[in-house]
Amino acid sequence: MVWTLSDVERAVRAGWGADTCAPEDLPKWSTRNPARGQCGVTALVLHDLLGGDLLRGEVRVGGEQVDYHWWNLLGGGVEVDLTREQFAADEIVGAGVVIVRGPLSRMHEQYALLHERVLAGLEVPVSPRAEP
């Protein structure tokens, strides 16, 4: 099956919800800012579908690190970040560092839900819960 990046983006964005949000970001998540708290699981699902590398950058407010942001680096140096708009003007995302994907240490349920929803949105038969 062949998809465009637009197809993948549409399926990812349709899959986001409060139930796929990072727990620490739930107070800031809303339907007006559905990308909030979705970066980790989104980067993993894109990695599943498109390969490439995972990038992680520090999020700073007033010069102080407050969080991390995750996105993807595809072949040819193309960066794909479907959740960058989640940040307020005072939240500054630093340069990305390549992170080697390891076992998922948290957010298993959020990842599995988004993974299933994206595959369904791309009309890929969904098998039992995927593991990262």
Q: pLDDT per residue over 31-40, tens digit each?
A: 999 999 999 9
Range of the domain at 68: 5-121
84 lies in a domain? yes
Give residue 132's pLDDT: 52
Please give the Cα distance from 124 to 59 (Å, whole number): 34
- Evaluate whether residue 127 is within a structural domain: no
In a domain, 132, yes or no: no
- Which residues, at least 6 apart from 89, have a Cβ–Cβ distance to it below 8 Å? none
Residue 60 counted as domain residue: yes
- State the average pLDDT for the chain: 93
Q: Does residue 129 lie in a domain region? A: no
Number of domains forming the structure of the chain? 1
Q: Is residue 89 part of a domain?
A: yes
Residue 125 pLDDT? 75
Q: Residue 40: which residues within 8 A CB-CB, separation 6 or more?
A: 22, 70, 107, 111
Residue 32 lies in a domain: yes
> pTM for this one?
0.91
- 130 in a domain, yes or no? no
